[in-house]
């Protein structure tokens, strides 16, 4: 079955440190890839997306992600984390490979804590 | 442009009751998807509607149903509530999902349902 894996349930970083959140997917071909962020008690906000083309995509709030086909990965990065980045981050795949255009399959999420 | 709105934001029900949740998509968006978020199961796809037709359905019992109106607003209904239905219910809207590429889904703030 198609799946999305976020290996890290919790990550703690110091403010100003760099960040990388991992995401791996299992599909036979390239899916459409997304990263969303969720603050406590809130809905999901789209950070960035990859459909095709340049494998390094830029998003909002200084985030970027790199699609690596050979590793079936779509890791999220930020060079310098701010305290306001503390939230839960979800990787998701969509498109035909998830069973339908508008069906997203989510990873379990990574909860990010930021130390001052 | 206004975002996705969901009403009510919070609900408390008792077992056996039924509940209706409402979602108003972003203006111009014709596709509405629903997701259930729980600590144990994470984010799971419920169903998707486009032009008043259910186009995609997740693996949930028949107690979960939905509909979409001609103005693209959507409702979901859960009958005979069970304790396990306590969750955050998220609605997402997108343009059409029929362009050959996955539309981006934009999420509302969610409805927090508590079943006692």
Residues of B in contact with A45 (CB under 8 A): 107
Q: Is the dihedral of CA B59, B60, B66, B71 positive or negative?
A: negative
Q: What is the mean pLDDT of chain B?
A: 92
Q: Say what percent of chain B tops pLDDT 90.
A: 84
Residue A97 pLDDT: 60
pLDDT above 70 for B17? yes
Residues of B in contact with A34 (CB under 8 A): 104
Residue B25 pLDDT: 96
pLDDT above 60 for B80? yes
The residue ranking higher by pLDDT, A32 or B100, is A32
Classified as helix, coil or strand, B38 is strand
Q: For chain A, what's the residue count?
A: 116
The residue ranking higher by pLDDT, A95 or A64, is A64
Q: Which residues 54-93 of chain A have a CB within 8 Å of chain B?
A: 90, 92
**Beta carbons within 8 Å of B71's beta carbon, 6+ residues apart:** none
Kindly state the average pLDDT of the residues A106-113: 97
Q: What is the mean pLDDT of chain A?
A: 91
Q: Say what percent of chain A tops pLDDT 90.
A: 68
Q: Hey, are the CB atoms on A102 and B103 less than 8 Å from each other?
A: yes
Kindly state the average pLDDT of the residues A29-47: 89
Residue B99 pLDDT: 47
Q: Hey, are the CB atoms on B55 and A102 less than 8 Å from each other?
A: yes
Residue B100 pLDDT: 46
Task: Please tell me the distance from the alpha carbon of residue A102 to that of residue B92, in angstroms, as a whole number.
Answer: 9
Residue B96: which pLDDT band, with cuts at 50, 70 and 90? Answer: confident
Q: Hey, are the CB atoms on B101 and A51 less than 8 Å from each other?
A: yes
Task: Please tell me the distance from the alpha carbon of residue A92 to that of residue A108, in angstroms, as a whole number.
Answer: 9
DSSP β-bridge partners for residue A77: A20, A64
Residues of A in contact with B5 (CB under 8 A): none
- Kindly report the CA angle at A3 between B89 and B55, in degrees rounded to 5? 55
pLDDT above 90 for A23? yes
- A9 Cβ under 8 Å from any chain B Cβ: no
Task: Please tell me the distance from the alpha carbon of residue A91 to that of residue A77, in angstroms, as a whole number.
Answer: 12
* Closest-CA residue to A103 (of B65, B45, B103): B45
Kindly state the average pLDDT of the residues B30-44: 95
Task: Please tell me the distance from the alpha carbon of residue B84 to that of residue B38, in angstroms, as a whole number.
Answer: 9
Residue A4 pLDDT: 94
Residue B62: which pLDDT band, with cuts at 50, 70 and 90? Answer: very high
């Amino acid at each position: 079955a198609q799946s999305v894996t976020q290996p890290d349930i919790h990550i703690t970083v110091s403010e100003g440190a760099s960040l990388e959140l991992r995401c791996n997917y299992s599909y036979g071909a390239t899916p459409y890839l997304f990263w969303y962020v969720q603050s406590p008690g809130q809905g999901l906000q789209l950070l960035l997306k990859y459909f095709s083309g340049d494998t390094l995509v830029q998003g909002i709030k200084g985030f970027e992600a790199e699609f690596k086909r050979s590793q079936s990965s779509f890791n999220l990065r930020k060079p310098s984390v701010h305290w306001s980045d503390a939230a839960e981050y979800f990787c998701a795949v969509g498109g035909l490979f998830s069973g339908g255009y508008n069906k997203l399959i989510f990873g379990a999420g990574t909860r990010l804590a930021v130390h001052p | 442009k206004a975002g996705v709105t969901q009403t009510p934001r919070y609900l408390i029900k008792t077992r056996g009751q039924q509940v209706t949740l409402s979602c108003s998509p972003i203006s111009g968006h014709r596709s509405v998807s629903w997701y259930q978020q729980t600590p144990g199961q994470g984010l799971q796809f419920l169903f998707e509607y486009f032009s008043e037709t259910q186009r995609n359905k997740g693996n949930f019992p028949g107690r979960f149903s939905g509909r979409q109106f001609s103005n693209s607003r959507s409702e979901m209904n859960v009958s005979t509530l069970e304790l396990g239905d306590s969750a955050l219910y998220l609605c997402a809207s997108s343009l059409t999902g029929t362009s050959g590429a996955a539309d981006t889904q934009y999420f509302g703030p969610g409805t927090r349902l508590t079943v006692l």
